[in-house]
Amino acid sequence: MCLILFANGAHPRYRLVVAANRDEWFRRPSAPAAFWEDQPHVLAGRDLEQGGTWLGVTRSGRFSALTNFRDPASKRDRAPSRGALVTGFLTGTREPLDYAAMLTATADAYNGFNLLAGDGERLAYVSSRRTQPEQVAPGVHGLSNGLLDESWPKVRKGREGLARLLSRDLVAEDLFGLLKNESLAPEEELPSTGVSREWERLLSAMHIVADGYGTRCATVVLIDTDGVADFRERTFDASGRPVAEVTHRFSISAAR
């Protein structure tokens, strides 16, 4: 997952609004979002290579999502899968800040990551590049492969776009439209994260289309103040064409 735009307690109807793109190599196998057979309360896509996930919700209203922290110089091939961090929160019972604090003690074991974890009342953020987790303030936020709300072009563009959408009747299709922006950032605005300038430019798009790599799926999550969750995932092929869509709508229950 490489771009997560979200509004936390910033809309009169929805307590949480999430619009997120997952960017990954197309050769890496994954399953579309569904309620898992081995964890029936978890709704998420699944990485078939390591068994974890990049974003998911539960019937009890837990939410978690992950982005990689881009730092190729420090990447280790034998590090454990970061997708297990999302799964661990979704299948567990720890409060968000408690779970995030627990991760800071073991963060060095993983390649760089950012994680969001919420339970419907609190939303926590933790990064392997920070020593302390934080509770996310109400408002409109963006997370890519740097730190939370870091001023990368697509994060700025995404936050501004989401804020505009929140000011009118919010519909899922508008959020998908926001995520589908394939425009590249100007050279002078590109971050410097350790990849080539060519890749830096390709990765600056909100929706990425590159050689064998790109935006595999877009996910919209709307959780309203009455406790109804609307989850939609749209899958793309390597050319950026939508090829499948999954929709789930359910009422959140206090019981797991």
3-state secondary structure 74-140: HCCCCCCCCHHHHHHHHCCCCCHHHHHHHHHCCHHHCCCEEEEEECCCCEEEEECCCCCCEECCCEE
Whether 256 is in a domain gets the answer no
Coil, strand or helix at 151: coil
**Residue-wise pLDDT tens digits, 115-151:** 999 999 999 999 999 989 999 999 999 999 999 999 9
Whether 160 is in a domain gets the answer yes
Rounded to whole angstroms, how far apart are CA atoms 19 and 65? 11
Rounded to the nearest 10°, the torsion over CA 85, 92, 141, 209 is 40
Our separate counts of H helices and E strands in the chain read 5, 13
pLDDT, average across residues 206-218: 97
Whether 70 is in a domain gets the answer yes
Rounded to whole angstroms, how far apart are CA atoms 93 and 81? 21
Rounded to whole angstroms, how far apart are CA atoms 109 and 117? 19
**Residue-wise pLDDT tens digits, 63-81:** 999 999 999 999 999 999 9
Q: What is the pLDDT of residue 254?
A: 72
Rounded to whole angstroms, how far apart are CA atoms 193 and 173? 32
Print the domain residue range for 121: 3-251
∠ Cα 219 90 109 (to 5°): 100
Report whether pLDDT(255) > 70: no
Rounded to whole angstroms, how far apart are CA atoms 56 and 42? 7
- Chain centroid to Cα 134, Å, comes to 17
**Residue-wise pLDDT tens digits, 155-208:** 999 999 999 999 999 999 999 999 999 999 999 999 999 999 999 999 999 999
Place of tokens 């995030």: 100
Dmax (CA) for the chain in angstroms is: 50
Do the beta carbons of residue 227 and residue 252 sit within 8 Å?
yes
pLDDT, average across residues 13-25: 98
Whether 11 is in a domain gets the answer yes
Q: What is the pLDDT of residue 256?
A: 56
Among 16, 247, 53, CA closest to 45: 53
**Residue-wise pLDDT tens digits, 91-111:** 999 999 999 999 999 999 999
Number of domains in the chain: 1
Do the beta carbons of residue 22 and residue 45 sit within 8 Å?
yes
Q: What are the angstrom distances between the C-alpha of 134 and each of 72, 137, 159, 242?
A: 25, 9, 19, 36
Rounded to whole angstroms, how far apart are CA atoms 59 and 82? 23
Return the CATH number at 167. 3.60.60.10
